[in-house]
Copies of this chain bind each other. A is one copy, B any other.
Amino acid sequence: MTETKARIAILGASGYTGSELVRLLARHPRVEIVALTADRKAGQSMADVFPQFGKLALPKLVTIDEVAWAHVDLAFCALPHGTTQQVIKRVLEAAPHIKMVDLSADFRLRDPGAYEQWYGHAHQALELQQEAVYGLVELYRDDIRKARLIANPGCYTTTAILPVVPLIEAGAIEPEGLVIDAKSGVTGAGRSAKESLLYTEVTDGMHAYGVANHRHTAELDQEYSKAAGRTIVPSFTPHLIPMSRGIYATIYAKTGAGVGAADVHRVLTDFYKSEPFVHVLPLGQVPQTRFVKGSNMIVMGVVADRQPGRVILISTTDNLVKGASGQAVQNMNLVLGFPETLGLEQLALFP
C-alpha cells in the first residue's frame, strides 16, 4: 500500500532557501511538491532558474495568486520579511487548513514592540504573530507539533542559541557580558544582485558588517532573556566570509560560580544526548564549517578560556540547511507527524 503524500507549496522558490527546499523535498519520500511560486519569474520552469534541477519533474513557477490552495497541505514561505506577514495572512484567511512554515523573520519575535523597534514599522498581522511558534526544534519540539504557523529561526540565531540557552538555564554561564563573534557564508545574504555581494567584492578577503545593530540580535535578546528570566543584551558582531555556506559562532562567556569548562561541556552533552542533529564534540575540540556543509547538523565545541572563569563556545551550521531550509523540513516533519529525520539524513559534503 502506498502512503499518501503530503502536498507541498513553496512560496519564493527562486531564491537560495527556495532551491534548497526543492533539493531536500524532491527526495523526501512522504511529500510531493505541487506548487512553486516566484512572482517575477512566473512562467519559467524551475530549471530555468536553477539548472541543476533539469531532470526533475517539477511544477512551473507561478505567482502566489495562481496557487490552488485547496490542494495544498503545507506551505513553506521563503519571501522577504515585511511582505511575508501580509502574504501569510491572506493565504491563511483563504485556506485556514494549511500548515505554514515561514522562513522569514516576520513571526519570530513575540513582542510586537521589539518587532517595531528592529523593523521600523508596526506588525501587520498581530493575531498570527501571537499564534506563531518559534521553530527551534530542539527547544520547542512539543509546541511545534501542534502549531499551524511556525516561525523558522534565523541562521545566526539557530547557531548562537542552541549552545547557549541550555547553559543559561543550568546556571553554567552568566548571561551578562556574552560576546558572540559570528561569521557567515555569502548565501546568508540571498540571491539579490547587489554590488557588495559580487564575487570580486567578497572573495579572498573579509569584513564585519551590521556591527552592534544586526536584526538577528533581536532573536538572541528574546531567547537569552527568556532563558535567564531577565533582560539580556548580548554583543553580536557578524562577519562576511568568502564561503558559500556556513555560520560559525565563537561565543565568549563567563562561567557561573564554581563552574569549569568541563562542567559546561557536560551540561551540553547531557542536554543534547538524544538529538539526531546536534553533535557536541569532545571537550577542547573545535568544529569546522566543513563538518556540516549540506547537512542538517549543528556541531559545537567547548574550550576553557585562558582568562580564569571564562569559557569559549564554538558552534557551526550550514545556514541553508539547519539555519533555514533543513530546519524548515524538520519542522514540517513534526507538524505532519513524520519521523523527524525523514529526508534530512544527508551527510556533509566535504571536501
A residues apposed to B, CB below 8 Å = 16, 19, 22-23, 26-27, 50-56, 177, 179, 181, 183, 186-187, 191-195, 197-209, 211-213, 217, 233-237, 239, 241-246, 248, 250, 252, 276, 279, 281, 286-295, 297, 299, 303-307, 310, 312, 314, 320, 345-351
Q: How far is the CB of A302 from chain B (nearest CB, A)?
A: 10
Q: How many copies does the complex hold?
A: 4
The answer on a CB contact under 8 Å between A312 and B235 is yes
A187 to B241, CA, bound (A): 17
Given contacts A248-B207, A288-B206, contact A16 B237 (CB under 8 A): no
> Is there an interface contact between A243 and B244, defined as CB atoms closer than 8 Å?
no
Known contacts A19-B350, A181-B250; decide if A206 and B307 are in contact (CB<8 Å): no
Given A27-B345, A347-B52: A306 in contact with B212 (beta carbons within 8 A): yes
Task: Summarize A's interface: helix, strand, loop or mixed.
Answer: loop
Listed A/B pairs (29) with beta-carbon separation below 8 Å: A16-B200, A19-B351, A23-B348, A27-B346, A27-B347, A51-B281, A51-B287, A52-B292, A52-B348, A53-B347, A54-B279, A54-B281, A55-B297, A186-B198, A186-B200, A186-B203, A187-B200, A187-B351, A193-B194, A203-B204, A206-B289, A207-B287, A208-B250, A211-B312, A212-B303, A212-B305, A235-B252, A235-B305, A349-B349
**A312 to chain B: which residues have CB within 8 Å?**
211-212, 235, 237
Task: Please state if A350 and B50 are interface contacts (CB–CB under 8 Å).
Answer: yes
Cα A295 to Cα B198 in complex, Å, equals 23
Q: How far is the CA of A200 from the CA of B18 in the complex (A)?
A: 15
Cross-chain contact A346 with B346 (CB below 8 angstroms): yes
- Docked CA distance A246–B239 (Å): 14
The answer to whether B51 and A291 have CB atoms under 8 Å apart is yes
Q: In the assembled complex, which residues on chain B have CB atoms less than 8 Å from the CB atom of A289?
A: 205-207
Q: Which residues of B contact A205 (CB under 8 A)?
A: 243, 246, 288-290, 293, 350
Across the interface, A233 reaches (CB within 8 A) one of B206, B306, B345, namely: B306
